[in-house]
Chain A
Amino acid sequence: MSGALPPGERLAAAIAPEERLAAAIAPEERLAAALARLIRDPSAPPARHIAVGAASPIPAAACWLVRKGGQEVRLSLLHKRSGNPFTEGTRELFDLTGQGRIDLFFLGGGQIDGQANINLVGTGEWPGREVRFPGSFGSAFMYFMTPRTILFREEHSPRVLVERVDNVSAPGVSPPGVFRRGTAQALVTGRAVFRFDPARARFALESAHPGEDAASIRAAAGFDYDEPASLPVTPDPTPRELALLRGPVCDEMLETYPEFCARVFDRRAAA
């Protein structure tokens, strides 16, 4: 499985010299590093056990980056091709979460609105008579029962980031008295990082990915949010993070996400 060259050099050797600069940091690598920073956020509740759901290679890469970076964290990857962490069937994830043993989960949304409501059901009248999405999965439970959720959706456009979702799979905030351990910590898109303030049920722009600015981010968002006077750029992954992503993180992900690893890290699973 491993070639003669170390991962970083093997990657460089696979890319023509004129393409190397552009390929230096893939957008997926930048997003994984941004998610990893949110996971490690010392001001957030501790992330001792993280579960990663279906079709989530970038959140999975972020979790592996945290772990390979030396932080002790238990990862339950629900869509590993061989084996899985649960011996009581998929309900064990929900039972664990119900007890408060899962600290962090990732959710996306066909639509996400300014109050962090997510819609995985579809647009138009219930149950998605206009465009039907796959469905709510476990979101209506997980969003309440994990101390924190990171919302992640690469597409940052007015059709995804809407003022008000057509249908609520899971609400971003709940009235007093409703049992709820947490909600969105942040929203990461292909253009920016937003923080969520549950007390105000409102997002605040935290940083812009390279190539974006306050105007381009707002133009592509359908909901209102707070914005700092001076907008930081989302930091690049550090050289160490890049080496981890392209080496040991990719090694862990190759079996579950072969297409992602081939595309982003230029690595292929052994035949």
Chain B
Amino acid sequence: MTQAAETAPAFETPSVEALAARIPDGAMVALPPDNSLPSVALAKALIRRGARGLRLLGVPVSGFATDLLIGAGCVAELQTSAVSLGEAGFAPRFGAAVREGRLVLRDATCPAIHTMLQAAEKGVPFMPLRGILGSDILAHRPDWRVIDNPFAQGGDPIVLLPALSPDFALFHAVLGDRHGNVWLGRRRECATIAHAARRTLVTVERLHPGNLLEDERLAPGTISGTYVEAFAVAERGAHPVALLDEYGFDAAHVAAYARAARTEEGFRAWLAEHVLDARLEAAE
């Protein structure tokens, strides 16, 4: 259980499990990486609910939560610019899935992911981006086009990227208020995902008593409730990933995961201990 029931004010916040239940199998789900506030709590709830066929989008790269979801069999496709566990090394379940051909992988490059989301943010069908020409990434992206810059005198090829609207944006914020606003400081890529996605579901560390948008100091780091469908309170919901200056990256936890997840059996045992037994997790 989350803390929501104990601390919720007059308005209702669903549980993390209830949020996960809103995400249907096969949905395209955008996740920020380990340095940018992923909701590990929501990823674990998706595993407990037995989600299948998810199409994950790493914004712009992927980390711990993505490796967990792949290992648990929740993911059919992944579009990302890299998958890594940082200092703990390669993401083991991702690597195994690629080797075994179990994952439809669409490689991108970081600014291309941002640009596709920014096009969706603006409601335009595509946006151009420099670079990429001559990369095998482009050769494997039939959905990316090259045109001749119409504003130049000719002979200036440039890549066009289609707008991308994920079905869901999921991330973890520090604060949520009764107006549905959430605060996560300078990690504005989460705002870009929220603007571009059709639905945004958030976990927050704790509730904020006032209106985040009425506070001049907090407003610039706030994502307006306009974009947020619902949030659940999940204390330490980013763990083992860091949350701004609230808590640090739990390197020992991720390193232990990386060791365990080298094998399918090790991963299953880790999952049983840290994800499927939710009571144990809550007691940690």
Interface of A toward B, CB cutoff 8 Å? 54-55, 79, 81-84, 86-91, 94, 98, 120-122, 126-129, 132-145, 167-171, 174-175, 177-179, 259
Q: Which residues of A contact B133 (CB under 8 A)?
A: 144, 174, 178
Top 4 nearest A-B pairs (CB, nearest first) are: A135-B82, A89-B189, A94-B111, A89-B188
Quick one: which of B119-173 are within 8 Å of A by CB?
Answer: 129-138, 140, 155-158
Interface string of B54-86 (1 = CB under 8 A from A): 000000110000000000000000001111101
Q: Are A138 and B81 touching (Cβ within 8 A)?
A: yes
Is the CB of B2 closer than 8 A to any CB of chain A? no
Q: Are A79 and B245 touching (Cβ within 8 A)?
A: no
Q: Are A54 and B129 touching (Cβ within 8 A)?
A: no
Q: Are A121 and B107 touching (Cβ within 8 A)?
A: yes
Of B21-29, B95-103, B258-266, which binds chain A?
B95-103
How distant is A221 from chain B, measured CB to nearest CB, in Å?
23
Interface of B toward A, CB cutoff 8 Å? 35-36, 60-61, 80-84, 86-87, 90-91, 94-95, 98-99, 101, 105, 107-112, 114, 118, 129-138, 140, 155-158, 186-192, 220, 242, 245, 248-249
Given A134-B84, A179-B130, does the pair A87, B136 have CB atoms closer than 8 Å? no
Q: Are B135 and A169 touching (Cβ within 8 A)?
A: yes
From B60, B114, B140, B158, contact of A126 by CB (8 A): B140
From B98, B109, B111, contact of A91 by CB (8 A): B111
How distant is A127 from chain B, measured CB to nearest CB, in Å?
5
Bound-complex Cα distance A204 to B87 (A): 32
Q: Are B98 and A129 touching (Cβ within 8 A)?
A: yes
Bound-complex Cα distance A128 to B192 (A): 30
Q: Are B189 and A98 touching (Cβ within 8 A)?
A: no
Given A137-B110, A171-B134, does the pair A86, B60 have CB atoms closer than 8 Å? no
Bound-complex Cα distance A12 to B81 (A): 43
Q: Are B80 and A135 touching (Cβ within 8 A)?
A: yes
Given contacts A135-B81, A137-B110, 6 further A-B contacts (CB under 8 A): A140-B109, A140-B135, A141-B130, A144-B132, A171-B134, A174-B134
From B95, B110, B131, B245, contact of A143 by CB (8 A): B131
Q: Which residues of B contact A167 (CB under 8 A)?
A: 136
**Closest A residue to B110 using CB positions:** A138
Q: Are B98 and A128 touching (Cβ within 8 A)?
A: yes
Q: Are A82 and B245 touching (Cβ within 8 A)?
A: yes
From B36, B107, B130, contact of A136 by CB (8 A): B107
Bound-complex Cα distance A171 to B186 (A): 33
